[in-house]
Amino acid sequence: MPNLTDYIEDYLKKLLALSSSQYIEIKRRELAGKFSCVPSQINYVLERRFPLERGYLVQSRRGGGGCIRIYRIETLRNGSWRDLIDSLDRLSFDLGRARQLVKRMVEDKIISRREAAILDQLLREDLYLLTSLNSEELRLLLRELFVNALQELLKIEY
């Protein structure tokens, strides 16, 4: 026999599944109204059913126009990001794919915009012009630097 918390959890997860973006936005009061409960019930549900460990990130803003955002950090849990990085390592590494990966990781909130900025700088070919590296050497070096940086980065919690 499901309880209120279960119903609200299901509802939010359905919304997330339907959403075309990586997150949903809710109004605490409204949602509480829909389920005829006190607003703080929503906090309880978020705390219990949408913790970071389970792959959710909750952010909120108070005041007029405030709201709660729930992000799905889908691939963080099963470690598929690490697999992706490893595949970059083993298979052909190229700049385009690396940059693409950085972009997606930002979108999925795996890394921050600032972290992405460093990685993007690292991938700037022109910075390496002053060296005598040939293009294959450069590719291997970039791969080494990029993959390593990313692996270390993901070891540390936000």
128 lies in the site for a copy of itself, by CB under 8 A: yes
Nearest partner of 107 among 152, 75, 83, judged by Cα: 75
Tell me which of 11, 13, 15, 41 binds DNA, using CB under 7 A. 41
36 lies in the site for a copy of itself, by CB under 8 A: no
DSSP 108-123: TTSS-HHHHHHHHHHT
Q: Which is nearer to DNA, 31 or 111 (CB)?
A: 31
- Report the DSSP beta bridge partners of residue 56: 72
The Cα 43–Cα 50 span in angstroms is: 10
Query: Minimum Å distance from CB 126 to a copy of itself?
Result: 10
Query: Minimum Å distance from CB 47 to DNA?
Result: 8
74 lies in the site for a copy of itself, by CB under 8 A: no
Enclosing H/E stretch for 70: strand 67-72
157 lies in the site for DNA, by CB under 7 A: no
95 lies in the site for a copy of itself, by CB under 8 A: no
Binding mask 67-106 for DNA (x = CB under 7 A): xx--------------------------------------
What token pair was written down for 9?
A: 């959890």
Instruction: Please report the sign of the dihedral spanned by the C-alpha atoms of residue 125, residue 131, residue 134, residue 140.
Output: negative
Binding partner of residue 122 among DNA, a copy of itself, none, CB cut-off 5 to 8 Å per kind: a copy of itself
CA 62, 112, 102, 68: dihedral to nearest 10 degrees?
-20
The Cα 151–Cα 141 span in angstroms is: 15
* Residues at the contact surface with a copy of itself, assessed by CB under 8 A: 1-6, 25, 27, 64-67, 111-115, 117-122, 124, 127-128, 130-133, 137, 140-141, 144-145, 148-149, 152-153, 155-156, 158
